[in-house]
Structure 1
Amino acid sequence: MDFILIIGLGSIGERHLENLIYLGYSNIIIVSKSGNIPSKFSKFVVYQDCQKAITENSISHGFICTPTSNHLEDLTILLENNVSKIYVEKPISHTLSYLDDIGSLAGKCKRLVVGYDLHFDPGLLKIKELLNKNQLGKVFSINATVGQFLPDWRPNQDYLKGMSAKIDKGGGVLLDLVHEFDYLRWLVGKPKNIACIFQNNPSLAIETEDVADVLIHFEGNASGTIHLDYHQKKLVRNCMLTCEKGTIFWDLTKSEVKIIRYDQEDELFSYVGFERNQRYIDSVRAFLDDSKYDNRLTSFDEALVSLKMVVAAKESSISKQFIALN
């Protein structure tokens, strides 16, 4: 029997495991370095060593759900052992180092995707549809904002000990909230130049940046901004696109998209009642569907662009200059 391997059983690993069970899968093996897993998953075989799990079993699919700083190490193990279908949680890594080695191995992989589940959000899909149909003409600018109070992210965990607070774990708002970099690329196209200012304020007592503001120039000449922070007491996540024939405003917290056209009545697209977890279910279902490739999935090469954007943004803040992306 072929097995699905889940590496890491933190919050995202547990979510994927529960969704796989919901979708009817039971041929699952878990890798957890601590070896301690919730009792509700006691029926599954658990390994503490990834290589041993692969050596002793036939693995068809791998889910990498470890801290960001471990992604490339875990991905290398899966690729070297010819696991043909791999789902890596976003972002790919916290560094561009060692990616050349990954690239040479990845060619053998039948399906290698990165978990940008916002591609499965009905609001962003609505915007993607509008842009694909060119209903509002050329995009002049795109402005994204996201913020949430870090201590509230995972109420059952001390945020000071979590990945977000640690530089060596790949934490900080730029990597934690990399979704914004990815979906701007997805909607508008490849970035050309990037500038950034980030802050590390003492109020949260963390090592990583807690506020960042980014300016992007895209190849199609559109401009973009991203604001990210760990301080909003209520989740804020929205995006505004200023276009030739109108404006699009997406608000995730309200589950709605407003379309304001110059020559027509305003349109409201509401998807109130859509559960956040459905994005994860849909992305896992699409990944596991061997009959076709779902264009909502994010390829490794596409995800590499958003990682390069973050690395360039950090470099820009330190050097105080625009960084060219090529």
Structure 2
Amino acid sequence: MKETDVARDATALSVAIVGFGSAGERAFEVLRELRPDAEFLVVSRNGAAGEGFRSTRSLDDVVAFEPDAVVLAGPATTRADVLRQIGALTVPVFIEKPLAHTLGDAVVVVELLGPVLERSQLGYNLRFSESLVAFRDIVRGGQFGRVERFSAETAQYLPDWRPGKDYRDTVSARADLGGGVLLELSHELDYLRWIFGEWDWVSAWTGRTSSLEIDVEDTALVTIGIEGDQAETQVVGQLSLDFVRRDKTRTVTAVCESGTLRWDGISGTVEINEPSESRWKTLLTDSGSQSTYRAQWDSFLSVVEKGSAPLVAMSDGVAVLRAVEAIRHSHEQSGARIFLKTGGVVS
């Protein structure tokens, strides 16, 4: 649709989407499916072509459009500048993950959201995975006893991420757009907090191990310490992230007192291996990863239309970026243990 006047039907739900890369396009498609009568304004610096929305290059048009909600789907490095240009908001805001590209910038974004902070939601869609929710419920419910340790691995070869696009030009590959495995795969940092609890400390190595033509880290290896639920106990986990592995993987394993639980995000399964059996048994298989996006946007529409509380808050995004900062600090200190609460270093 051509760039046009932004006046709209005041009776229909209206959404302004800022940024129309893969995340912005997906947001539009899912929201249009959920609310066929809604009106959309897409803000894209290169102009956006398509059906079902109005297009503009100017952020000034967001205010004139008077939307019921705003979606920030551009690079993480643009969040604060976009909010400054739009000005004071009175409607809920959805921000694609991560909240920002640095902890300092995240604090600024939170301040700029001001009165709509508590009505704004962050785009960690894996919180809406049926299988991951079930895995979390089992872990936190103590069905197989206390968690003694955990491990998580997520990896996919970067050139395979976005078919038809040169990986070197994508957000993932570019430091100036907030790329690198820590920010692009920050889902893992979010859901490991959500499942196992707040992180106490990290020890990490990050860097490039491949010949990919990127100026960001392609690998991160992190050890995580979490205060246990009993005196003098601590849960320790390991996280591996990379853009290098050719066979795509996304798993979390929890070693519990009376069994080992495993979540596979690719197959959407939760499995258990109990001492009495010498095999893995599938407990649940979900309906697929695409359903997480629909559930996520359903949740946000409930915030917009019913005043519900967002299920993923901006404070979660700040916590993720605090972890990213600690991981980077640890790497700079040759893997020293960094305490997240104080920022202190233990060699």
Whether the TM-score (by the shorter chain) exceeds 0.5 is yes
Render the CA deviation track for 1:138-188: whole Å, top value 9, x for unaligned: 212120001101001011211111111111111111111111111100001
| Equivalent of residue 177 in structure 1, options 159, 170, 185 | 185
- Please, which moves more after superposition, 236-245 or 259-268? 259-268
| Equivalent of residue 226 in structure 1, options 230, 239, 245 | 239
Contact in 2 for aligned 1:112/1:299 (Cα 8 Å): yes
Structure 1 residue 308 corresponds to structure 2 residue 322 = yes
- Please, which moves more after superposition, 86-95 or 102-111? 102-111
Structure 1 residue 21 corresponds to structure 2 residue 5 = no
Partner of 1:189: 197
- Please, which moves more after superposition, 120-129 or 177-186? 120-129
Partner of 2:267: 254
Q: Give the Å deviation of 1:292.
A: 6.3
Unaligned runs of 5+ residues in structure 2 are 1-9, 229-233, 342-347
Q: Give the Å deviation of 1:36.
A: 3.1
Contact in 2 for aligned 1:54/1:81 (Cα 8 Å): no
SS in 1 for 2:69: strand
Q: Give the Å deviation of 1:77.
A: 4.5
Structure 1 residue 211 corresponds to structure 2 residue 223 = no
- Structure 1's 135 and 294: CA in aligned 2 closer, same or farther, altered over 3 A? farther
Structure 1 residue 12 corresponds to structure 2 residue 23 = yes
Render the CA deviation track for 1:98-132: whole Å, top value 9, x for unaligned: 44443334341141111111111121111121133
Render the CA deviation track for 1:44-91: whole Å, top value 9, x for unaligned: 2111122x122212122111110121123224445x422321111111
Render the CA deviation track for 1:209-262: whole Å, top value 9, x for unaligned: 111100111133211111011112121111100112221111122221112334
Partner of 2:231: none
Structure 1 residue 48 corresponds to structure 2 residue 63 = no
Figure out how many residues of one structure are paired with residues of the other and give that number. 319
- Structure 1's 294 and 236: CA in aligned 2 closer, same or farther, altered over 3 A? farther
Give the TM-score normalised by structure 2: 0.86
Across the aligned residues of Structure 1 and Structure 2, the Cα RMSD in angstroms comes to: 2.0
Superposed, 1:71-220 pairs within 5 Å as 71-77=79-85, 80-109=87-116, 110-220=118-228
Query: Which amino acid in structure 2 is aligned with residue 81 of structure 1?
Result: A
CA–CA distance in 2 between the matches of 1:181 and 1:172? 14
SS in 1 for 2:104: coil
CA–CA distance in 2 between the matches of 1:124 and 1:194? 23
- Structure 1's 105 and 164: CA in aligned 2 closer, same or farther, altered over 3 A? closer
Unaligned runs of 5+ residues in structure 1 are none
CA–CA distance in 2 between the matches of 1:247 and 1:185? 19
